[in-house]
Amino acid sequence: MAESTTLAAHLAALAEADPGSPAISCAGASVTRRQLEQRTNRLARAYRQLGVTPDSFVTIGLPNTIEFLEAAIAAWKCGATPQPVSSRLPARERRAIIELAAPGLVVGVAPEEAAGHAAIPAGYAPEPGLSDAPLGEVAAASWKAPTSGGSTGRPKLIVSTQPAVVGSVEPFARLMGMTDGDTVLITGPLYHNAPFLLSACTLVLGGHVVLMPRFDAGSALRLVQEHAVDWMYAVPTMMGRIWRLPEEQRLGYDVLSLRVVMHMAAPCPPWLKRAWIDWLGPERVWELYAATEVQAVTILTGSEWLSHPGSVGRPVVGEMQVRDPAGAPLPPGEVGEIWMRRGPGEPPPYRYIGADARTTGDGWESVGDLGSIDVDGYVHLADRMSDMLIVGGANVYPAEVEGALMEHPAVRTAVVVALPHDDLGHVPHALLELEGEVSDEELHAHLAERLAPYKIPRSFERVSEPLRDDAGKVRRAALAAARGKPPADRFPEAG
């Protein structure tokens, strides 16, 4: 396929070559390539009438639906840039993003909530008299503009500097082990970068996107069996929920079609990674590490992980380096801040709207992740700088504590936050979604077998509301702020 071909033209060619093949399925509904082409041509004409112009943003605030991906394709056909946001954002936060993006159109939001911009609600249908014939050739200078920063309350747009052409998408699909015509299960929300990118990759390779409205462990395995899924996206939270299904249920589905399960977006506890490798085999369990900015990318298979346990792989795009707080490179195995770049003299693959990059004069950038690189060049993550706790001068990485907690069969999800402490500065506090009864003493004993005493939470809190969203993301700062001072220490010896 020609790298310079526009995404719009390429999708049109795929529709002409095999019009009856399924393109997208969601919640029992499907559209073929021809239907997708005709519907998005008509929709693009409607968007133009509503004010969408080349290189404007189209903010898409829809839930996971066929309609979401049709809106993105229609934006590309206008020469515009899809700008996804969560459909469940509070109105104030959504308005802040819309004001930042200044889009030509907001999709999925009532006009009175669109901060003065043109808007259409979910379920919008263009006038039937609009033509569904192909539009003229045009490609936006940026093919996507995902949102980030919601956890801090300061949203920013991460605008790709790559145009809406095949060459901006297809190489990533190949890196991730996708092949032409794959059926790909998208388990996460499209407003996050990875599910959106992976859906685009699938469509560009002429594949079939099977989209989940919301993640459910049993439904995911059912869809793998029903559609003979080749390639599946997951985050560790989803992997944990699938693994905790009753064994007879988990093993009752036919998952032999799966060639790749690619997980990303958060550190995967080693016990969970090993469980999936034992279940599916090492060559089918892949992992990717990259920021939304995609300055650099690592990928590794389960076989590599078995040789380098805890690693997220070696860079396959760009470079990574670990540095100390003064900016000096650290030797192999020492934890520091991870810095990334595409290469010497290479421009960044994105630009920010609403933020400034943390960068050096020679092109290195950091998004605040902590980790180390071993002697073989494999990257090992510790946590994010913003999440790390300092307890009496010692570093505690929430991801490590959360992984240990989730080894307990009663713990469905765990989030560890820092709460202020008069003596130690901060102490870890664990919030738990449980699947059964478990005492604080039992949790403490469970962790004492796995963690150093200072890493063990001083207190445990049971919650009923979800701690993580469908992409496995957590608003850690907001959870901590809502709790203030910790309860009385249950386990003071942990200090």
Kindly write down the DSSP assignment for every residue of 426-447, as one continuous string.
EEEEEEEEESS---HHHHHHHH
- Percentages of the chain per state (helix, strand, coil), in multiples of 5: 30, 25, 45
Q: What is the mean pLDDT of residues 375-398?
A: 81
Q: What is the mean pLDDT of residues 33-56?
A: 98
Q: Encoding tokens for residue 91?
A: 């109105």
- pLDDT 10s digits, 130-151: 999 999 889 999 999 999 754 4
Inter-residue contact 1 to 10 (CB < 8 Å): yes
Confidence category of residue 474, pLDDT binned at 50, 70, 90:
confident
**pLDDT higher than threshold 80 for residue 285:** yes
Average pLDDT, the chain: 91
What is the reported pLDDT for 204? 98
User: Which of 3-12, 275-284, 479-488 is the least confident region?
Assistant: 479-488
Domains, the chain, in order of start with CATH, read 7-373 (3.40.50.12780), 389-494 (3.30.300.30)
Inter-residue contact 159 to 350 (CB < 8 Å): yes
User: Which of 17-21, 248-252, 417-421 is the least confident region?
Assistant: 417-421
DSSP type of residue 423? T
- pLDDT 10s digits, 153-202: 478 999 999 999 999 999 999 999 999 999 999 999 999 999 999 999 99
What is the reported pLDDT for 149? 52
- What pairs with residue 432 in β-bridges? 414, 462
Which residue would you say has higher pLDDT here, 490 or 379?
A: 379
Round to whole Å and give the CA distance between 413 and 464.
Answer: 11
**pLDDT higher than threshold 50 for residue 118:** yes
Give the strand pairing for 319-323 and 311-317: unpaired
Confidence category of residue 111, pLDDT binned at 50, 70, 90:
confident
What is the reported pLDDT for 425? 74
Round to whole Å and give the CA distance between 229 and 219.
Answer: 13
Q: How far is CA 132 from CA 38, 60, 66, 427, in A?
A: 5, 22, 18, 60
> Within its chain, how far is the Cα of 210 from the centroid?
17
Q: What is the mean pLDDT of residues 374-400?
A: 82
Nearest one of 303, 301, 304, 341 to 323, comparing CA atoms = 341
What is the reported pLDDT for 489? 61
- What pairs with residue 286 in β-bridges? 262, 301
What is the reported pLDDT for 150? 43
162 contact partners, CB below 8 Å, separation of at least 6:
142, 143, 168, 349
What is the reported pLDDT for 263? 96
Round to whole Å and give the CA distance between 115 and 328.
Answer: 45
**pLDDT higher than threshold 50 for residue 152:** no
Round to whole Å and give the CA distance between 153 and 164.
Answer: 29
Cα dihedral 249, 250, 251, 253 sign: positive
**pLDDT higher than threshold 90 for residue 236:** no
User: Which of 88-92, 122-126, 182-186, 202-206 is the least confident region?
Assistant: 88-92
Angle, helices 236-243 vs 270-280, to 10°: value is 60
Confidence category of residue 14, pLDDT binned at 50, 70, 90:
very high
Q: How many helices (H) and strands (E) does the chain have?
A: 14, 27
Nearest one of 125, 105, 133, 110 to 41, comparing CA atoms = 133
What is the reported pLDDT for 151? 40
Which residue would you say has higher pLDDT here, 389 or 463?
A: 463
**pLDDT higher than threshold 70 for residue 457:** yes
Q: The whole model's pTM is what?
A: 0.85
Of all residues in the chain, the percent with pLDDT exceeding 90 is: 72
What is the reported pLDDT for 94? 87
390 contact partners, CB below 8 Å, separation of at least 6:
396, 425, 426
Confidence category of residue 267, pLDDT binned at 50, 70, 90:
confident
Inter-residue contact 50 to 75 (CB < 8 Å): no
Confidence category of residue 397, pLDDT binned at 50, 70, 90:
confident
Q: Encoding tokens for residue 322?
A: 């670990």
CB burial string 258-294: b at 16+ within 10 A, e below: bbbbbbbbbbbbeebbbbbbeebebebbbbbbbbbbb
Residue count of the chain: 495
